[in-house]
Structure 1
């Protein structure tokens, strides 16, 4: 299930946040026993950089997302975390969501998420411990999964929550706007409204990078629309010439 909602944070538009729930957190036996409530900033304001490291197309650029460089993003993520905590306190959830805990896609979680026979055996054993008793389950969560961080620790300590979020923030996999459209006089613009790259003859860009900022939704359909529109523009300009 998925929902968009408004943070109400000053200066932010409506439906600037999103929350999603999944019944299985990973492919392995342990992941099948863990549900997830995830919240993220749907309209982010932090900006990063993309820099070329060489003239060859085979050399990947250097990308620095610079997460949470804008205060609005950090504050709304903390607000979103508290929102999830309030949801978990509702009777309809607290009766079925046993022993909730803060989770992060850290290095250990990524390692265990790899599809291997070793990980399957390890998580099968951990899953048996989770099922054995509430006491074992809570001990496993505290000592192995969370490194001691608890929901109450985070919501009751603003600095702890801020540090936790900054250490564990991850992308929502929809980066855009590295070559945004704009007037030739705009120093931050790369292309004109037809996708032509300023200052370079015969080169156009027709993908999500021309968006002025990341849209408040999945980027699939908007990117298709951009490509279709700029393809039509390119064809029309070709007929005129």
Structure 2
């Protein structure tokens, strides 16, 4: 699992939207509380925690990811701890209404592109490696080696305009997956024949938009609680999301031109698809067509019970996660995010749960952490 808190600017955005005491300096102690940092290079960081229930370790580092990091450095990006100082309503269904709130609106999710590259010049996760005796021995005796890895072992957060670094959240997350992925997203047979690589050796770069502007919804299908809901993610309805992903593709193109990737003989031509052949390959129009055909979800659905001020009609819960107009009911999950965070949403959800526990018990379990980090400089200060 990838440990990602999101950008400090995400929480400043929440605060500016009226979520008092949800700014980055307010939530940072809860991230620290839940963490047990086991990486020597980060143990002494004031942004990191020790002794919490979530152990942080690095495990196996694939050669493909080491080259991914080298490529980023060649392009002028710093190698960094991106969890540290800076991260470069109901319808008409005859259901009695207790509180008329916009539940199900404001649905947000991260979308991305899976850009595969075939190569036999670096070790990647494939059938031969998975079945190798040496890999099995390493895992069974020592809990190490490629079988101990998640396959997604490298990540970068990047601004399309590098002048915005340190002033706002990144635009793009790029995840390095040292494997070629099968058709796990349900592409049609015709599309899969082109877009899904045949089993073999290679890796995948997953390009994700961090702050999508498109908004979807979840609505009830009927009065039967067991009926599947009507989910309309409304992906890419805001054309600015498409343009941001095109920007991410342009960074991917640059990565392929770095020495580590050129040494592997990688080419963009693997992504020349017939379903966009009406456009010049690698033009903006081509990549926009490509994105609208094959962009996929990251399964980071959030924000359908939006938190905010009680007088804001777009919100469902107040800043202590209490559902407006209903006594004794709180919502504690990623649906309360006013806006989606930059990156994987698991750890921000843990932070929300830690805060909810304090609200319910009427305690401040992170007072000592807050005092300890009071003097540290935070990028949003």
TM-score between both structures, scaled by the size of structure 1: 0.70
Match of 1:63 among 223, 231, 236: 231
- Report the 3-state secondary structure (helix = DSSP H, G, I; strand = E; otherwise coil) of the residue aligned with 1:222: helix
Q: Match of 1:227? A: 353
Match of 1:201 among 327, 340, 351: 327
Q: Distance in 2 between matches of 1:154 and 1:187?
A: 46
Q: Match of 2:338? A: 212
After superposition, the Cα gap between the structure-2 partners of 1:162 and 1:10, relative to the gap in structure 1 and judged at 3 Å, is farther
What is the RMSD computed on CA atoms of the aligned residues?
2.8
Does the 8 Å CA contact 2:171/2:244 hold for their aligned counterparts? no
After superposition, the Cα gap between the structure-2 partners of 1:56 and 1:97, relative to the gap in structure 1 and judged at 3 Å, is farther
Task: Tell me by how many angstroms 1:51 deviates.
Answer: 0.6
User: Within 5 Å, which residues of 2 pair with 1:1-241?
Assistant: 1-8=154-161, 13-26=168-181, 30-101=198-269, 146-147=273-274, 153-156=280-283, 158-236=284-362
Task: Tell me by how many angstroms 1:38 deviates.
Answer: 2.0
Mark the runs of 5 or more structure 1 residues left unpaired by the alignment.
104-141
Q: Summarize deviations over 1:45-86 as a string: whole Å, max 9, x none.
A: 211111111223312211111111223211110111121112
Does the 8 Å CA contact 1:9/1:76 hold for their aligned counterparts? no
- Report the 3-state secondary structure (helix = DSSP H, G, I; strand = E; otherwise coil) of the residue aligned with 1:155: coil
After superposition, the Cα gap between the structure-2 partners of 1:148 and 1:162, relative to the gap in structure 1 and judged at 3 Å, is closer
Does the 8 Å CA contact 2:276/2:286 hold for their aligned counterparts? no
Does the 8 Å CA contact 2:302/2:337 hold for their aligned counterparts? yes
After superposition, the Cα gap between the structure-2 partners of 1:198 and 1:102, relative to the gap in structure 1 and judged at 3 Å, is farther
The structure, 1 or 2, with the larger RCO (C-alpha pairs under 8 Å, 6+ apart) is 2
Does the 8 Å CA contact 2:305/2:317 hold for their aligned counterparts? yes
After superposition, the Cα gap between the structure-2 partners of 1:32 and 1:147, relative to the gap in structure 1 and judged at 3 Å, is same
Q: Distance in 1 between matches of 2:269 and 2:202?
A: 10
Task: Tell me by how many angstroms 1:10 deviates.
Answer: 10
TM-score between both structures, scaled by the size of structure 2: 0.46
Task: Tell me by how many angstroms 1:233 deviates.
Answer: 1.1
Mark the runs of 5 or more structure 2 residues left unpaired by the alignment.
1-153, 184-196, 364-381
Task: Tell me by how many angstroms 1:214 deviates.
Answer: 0.7
Q: Match of 1:132? A: none
Paired residues in the alignment total: 194
After superposition, the Cα gap between the structure-2 partners of 1:153 and 1:86, relative to the gap in structure 1 and judged at 3 Å, is farther
Does the 8 Å CA contact 2:216/2:235 hold for their aligned counterparts? yes
